[in-house]
């Protein structure tokens, strides 16, 4: 993606200035940018003081061993104490921390005082199993409160957690357990999915069969299904945890003590075990959660719809919101169970004021129909967020109108497992937002768009997104693979972190994310972004979702192949209309060679489209590694509906 990148939809002209009332009460103002630019380390030190430290750092940043950073050198803190105990000590024990909503409508209200008791009991239980600071603990659980207790208990004891999606296969779990050499696995008997009890322990048993590192399996009873039991290894949560003392004294750890390992989604290749540490990570998640979501902990009800098996769940369900004393909703189930209005019903029920979700779900809501959100009272909402993929301008506008009632600011937040926290986003109350653009690096963060030679491009120019300054929540490595850490992120450009995403500046200098560098197509020498063609397709009234790939083409180098899901069913004529629509929106060069109507798209568990699998189909190859697919039957469904001669 060089400067000849096509400019088209990204010439977005719509902007939405902040509402003056919102701006007047906002947590941040434009002065934060200038303050951070004037004294970056001083700015981050001020953010670190949001936390409670047992002893302060001697220096803010040590970058002498780059690319491995040390932040808040010599400082000591306990992450769980910061997320739980200190709020209770401040007299906020009765504040609701979690409104937990089970899929079947069962619920639990957990105050900060409750959370402290549960986390303490869990920590005492883990100690009784002989675990010591630095040991690794694998967690595969559904979205139930015990998942949060388990993560915080690990943090409290200095144990390193590795959370694995509840839907992952035994093979995916096994490779993660082996990679981290986990001593304990925490799981459940089963999980509810669309009203059915699906097995969980049967999968984890298969995953760890013959696995030498695992000493115990701690099992939460969720569905009540029968499970196989290995005496001496398996322990019921209710047998071990319930009887423990509900007090536990936390110990402080070094700011650089490892907090967790988390594997990336695997959208572009084999997942990488990303390592995060304590002080810098907690500082940046707390700061960004305060600034980007404008959290008012006394009055807001916050809801992030991610799964805790994804980094968004770590940073914006567990660590950021709890460090800030937020009241939040945690929902166990799927958005269409038992009906397609479930999310709106939950917003109405709890008076959710801040809602953070992914573009894939917004496009799904669009497909389900405008009348569904219209049937609920969504007036409690005051801010909306998006994460995970570029949000198409049409989806952004739909989100603003149908959930946001034209009044809520939308924050499109760009970040990665590796960055640990939000890096690029509008600031609500400060930034005039633009549909489809993540806009500007946050105060304290350095990002730019550079060309092949690492030189920053000018307004209107396209290239690669890089991060040009270290940040507190940056990854400290890939677990057990320092070489891959250096080669993946630090070898492409000298001194810059290479994010792997294509981006461009518009005429105002705002940043637009254009999708993975690997996904950029080259058609007759023109570099065309998959995101741009997808946004053109989604702007057509009959398209609900689209994924575009470049397939080898004898004449043009690559030909554009589009996979589309239609709103409301199949239509034989639509392919040629859509090809013309893209030609009109972007230019004849971007006209897809083929438009294939499909019932579903292959997505990761975090909702991202796996274009590499579609490329395999478009180029008539056997499909590659599908272990991180949300639904493994999707590829067969797509292939069977296609006529390869088309």
Q: In whole angstroms, give the CA distance from residue 285 to residue 517.
A: 27
Q: Which of ligand ATP, Mg ion, none does residue 329 bind to, with CB < 5 to 8 Å depending on kind? A: none
Residue 140, annotated ligand binder? no
Q: Which of Mg ion, ligand ATP, none does residue 591 bind to, with CB < 5 to 8 Å depending on kind? A: none
Burial class (CB in 10 A: 0-12, 13-18, 19+), 132: exposed
Burial class (CB in 10 A: 0-12, 13-18, 19+), 491: exposed
Burial class (CB in 10 A: 0-12, 13-18, 19+), 50: middle
Residue closer to ligand ATP, measured from CB, 82 or 312: 312
Residue closer to ligand ATP, measured from CB, 261 or 346: 261
Q: Give the shortest CB-99-to-ligand ATP separation in angstroms.
A: 26
- Could you tell me which of 168, 170, 167, 123 has the C-alpha nearest to residue 149? 123
Residue 417, annotated ligand binder? yes
Rg of the chain taking only CA atoms, in angstroms? 24
Residue closer to ligand ATP, measured from CB, 115 or 151: 151
Give, as ranges, the residues between 489 and 508 that touch ligand ATP (CB under 6 A): 499-501
Residue 193, H or E segment? strand 190-193
Q: Give the shortest CB-446-to-Mg ion separation in angstroms.
A: 19
| Interacting span for ligand ATP (CB under 6 A) from 13-21, 236-244, 410-418, 566-574 | 410-418
Q: In whole angstroms, give the CA distance from residue 335 to residue 305.
A: 9
| Interacting span for ligand ATP (CB under 6 A) from 183-191, 267-275, 279-287, 294-302 | 267-275
Residue 414, annotated ligand binder? yes
Give, as ranges, the residues between 273 and 312 that touch Mg ion (CB under 5 A): none
Residue 62, annotated ligand binder? no
State how beta strands 543-553 and 526-528 pair. unpaired
Residue 194, annotated ligand binder? yes
User: Hey, what's the torsion of the CAs at 323, 329, 335, 337, to 10 degrees?
Assistant: 140
Residue closer to ligand ATP, measured from CB, 98 or 387: 387
Q: Is 516 in the site for ligand ATP (CB under 6 A)?
A: yes
Binding mask 380-409 for Mg ion (x = CB under 5 A): ------------------------------
Binding-site size, ligand ATP (CB under 6 A): 25
Which tokens belong to 46?
A: 């001020």
- Could you say which of 387, 543, 560, 590 contacts ligand ATP (CB under 6 A)? 387
State how beta strands 410-412 and 383-386 pair. parallel
As a residue count, the chain comes to 646
- Could you say which of 413, 433, 437, 529 contacts ligand ATP (CB under 6 A)? 413
Binding mask 317-356 for ligand ATP (x = CB under 6 A): ----------------------------------------
Whether residue 583 contacts residue 532, with contact meaning beta carbons closer than 8 Å, is answered with no
Q: Give the shortest CB-272-to-ligand ATP separation in angstroms.
A: 6
Give, as ranges, the residues between 261 and 280 that touch Mg ion (CB under 5 A): 264
Give, as ranges, the residues between 236 and 265 that touch Mg ion (CB under 5 A): 264
Q: Is 390 in the site for ligand ATP (CB under 6 A)?
A: yes
Q: Is 266 left (phi over 0), alpha (psi -120 to 50) or beta?
A: left
- Could you say which of 268, 348, 364, 626 contacts ligand ATP (CB under 6 A)? 268
Q: Tell me which residue has its CB nearest to Mg ion.
A: 264
Kindly report whether the peptide bond that precedes residue 338 is cis, defined as omega within 30 degrees of 0: yes
CB atoms within 10 A of CB 477: 21
Phi, psi of 216 (to 5 degrees): -140, 155
Give, as ranges, the residues between 598 and 627 that touch ligand ATP (CB under 6 A): 606, 608
Q: Give the shortest CB-628-to-Mg ion separation in angstroms.
A: 12
Q: In whole angstroms, give the CA distance from residue 259 to residue 428.
A: 30
Q: In whole angstroms, give the CA distance from residue 371 to residue 365.
A: 10
Q: Is 414 in the site for ligand ATP (CB under 6 A)?
A: yes
Task: Report CA 521 to chain centroid distance, whole Å.
Answer: 25
Neighbour-count burial for 362-394, b at 16+ CB within 10 Å, e otherwise? bbbbbebeeebbeebebeebbbbbbbbbbbbbb
Kindly report whether the peptide bond that precedes residue 67 is cis, defined as omega within 30 degrees of 0: yes
Which tokens belong to 292?
A: 């980007």
- Could you say which of 264, 277, 283, 328 contacts ligand ATP (CB under 6 A)? 264
- Could you say which of 388, 420, 429, 444 contacts ligand ATP (CB under 6 A)? 388
What is the dihedral sign for C-alpha 198, 201, 202, 206? positive
Q: Which of ligand ATP, Mg ion, none does residue 60 bind to, with CB < 5 to 8 Å depending on kind? A: none
CB atoms within 10 A of CB 573: 8
Binding-site size, Mg ion (CB under 5 A): 1
- Point out which residues bind ligand ATP (CB under 6 A): 264-269, 271, 311, 387-390, 412-414, 416-417, 438, 499-501, 513, 516, 606, 608
- Point out which residues bind Mg ion (CB under 5 A): 264
Residue numbering of the annotated binding site: 193-196, 312, 388-390, 412-417, 501, 516, 524, 527, 538, 540, 543
Residue numbering of the annotated binding site for Mg(2+): 538, 540, 543
Residue numbering of the annotated binding site for ATP: 388-390, 412-417, 501, 516, 527
């Amino acid at each position: 993606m060089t400067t000849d990148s096509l400019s088209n939809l990204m010439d977005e002209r719509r902007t939405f200035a902040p509402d003056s009332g919102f701006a007047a009460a906002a947590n941040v103002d434009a002065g934060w940018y200038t303050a951070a630019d004037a004294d970056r380390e001083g700015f981050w030190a001020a953010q670190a003081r949001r936390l409670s430290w047992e002893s302060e750092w001697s220096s803010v940043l040590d970058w002498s061993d780059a690319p491995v950073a040390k932040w808040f050198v010599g400082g000591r803190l306990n992450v769980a104490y910061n997320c739980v105990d200190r709020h209770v000590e401040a007299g906020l024990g009765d504040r609701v921390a979690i409104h937990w909503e089970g899929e079947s409508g069962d619920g639990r209200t957990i105050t900060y005082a409750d959370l402290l008791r549960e986390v303490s009991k869990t920590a005492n239980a883990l100690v009784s199993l002989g675990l010591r600071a630095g040991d690794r603990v694998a967690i595969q659980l559904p979205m139930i409160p015990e998942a949060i207790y388990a993560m915080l208990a690990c943090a409290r004891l200095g144990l390193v957690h590795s959370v694995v999606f509840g839907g992952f296969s035994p093979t995916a779990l096994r490779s993660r357990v082996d990679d981290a050499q986990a001593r304990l696995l925490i799981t459940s008997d089963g999980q509810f999915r669309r009203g059915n009890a699906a097995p969980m322990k049967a999968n984890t048993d298969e995953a760890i069969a013959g696995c030498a590192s695992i000493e115990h399996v701690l099992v939460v009873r969720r569905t009540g299904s029968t499970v196989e039991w290995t005496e001496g290894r398996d322990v019921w949560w209710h047998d071990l945890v319930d009887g423990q003392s509900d007090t536990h004294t936390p110990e402080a750890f070094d700011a650089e003590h490892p907090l967790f390992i988390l594997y990336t989604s695997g959208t572009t290749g084999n997942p990488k075990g990303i390592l995060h540490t304590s002080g810098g990570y907690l500082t940046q998640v707390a700061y960004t959660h305060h600034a980007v979501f404008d959290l008012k902990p006394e009055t807001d009800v916050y809801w992030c719809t991610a799964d805790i098996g994804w980094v968004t769940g770590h940073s914006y369900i567990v660590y950021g919101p709890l460090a800030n004393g937020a009241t939040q909703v945690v929902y166990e189930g799927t958005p269409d169970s038992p009906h397609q209005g479930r999310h709106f019903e939950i917003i109405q029920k709890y008076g959710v004021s801040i809602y953070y979700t992914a573009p894939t779900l917004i496009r799904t809501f669009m497909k389900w129909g405008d009348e569904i959100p219209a049937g609920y009272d969504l007036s409690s909402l005051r801010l909306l967020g998006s994460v995970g993929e570029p949000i198409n301008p049409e989806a952004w506008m739909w989100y603003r109108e149908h959930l946001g009632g034209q009044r809520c600011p939308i924050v499109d937040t760009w970040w990665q497992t590796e960055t640990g926290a939000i890096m690029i986003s509008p600031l609500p109350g400060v930034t005039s937002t633009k549909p489809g653009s993540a806009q500007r690096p946050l105060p304290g963060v350095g990002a730019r768009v550079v060309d092949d030679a690492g030189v920053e491009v000018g307004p209107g120019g396209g290239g690669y997104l890089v991060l040009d300054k270290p940040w507190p929540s940056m990854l400290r490595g890939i677990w057990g693979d320092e070489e891959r850490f250096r080669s993946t992120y630090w070898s492409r450009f000298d001194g810059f972190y290479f994010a792997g995403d294509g981006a461009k500046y518009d005429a105002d200098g705002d940043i637009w994310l254009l999708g993975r560098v690997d996904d950029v197509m080259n058609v007759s020498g023109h570099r065309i972004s998959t995101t741009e063609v997808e946004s053109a397709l989604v702007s057509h009234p009959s398209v609900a979702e689209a994924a575009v790939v470049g397939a080898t083409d004898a004449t043009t180098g690559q030909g554009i192949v589009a996979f589309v899901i239609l709103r409301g069913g199949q239509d034989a004529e639509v392919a040629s209309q859509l090809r013309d629509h893209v030609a009109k929106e972007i230019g004849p060069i971007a006209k897809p060679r083929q438009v294939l109507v499909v019932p579903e798209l292959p997505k990761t568990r975090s909702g991202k489209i796996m274009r590499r699998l579609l490329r395999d189909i478009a180029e008539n190859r056997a499909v590659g590694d599908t272990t991180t697919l949300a639904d493994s039957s999707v590829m067969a469904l797509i292939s069977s509906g296609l006529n390869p001669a088309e």
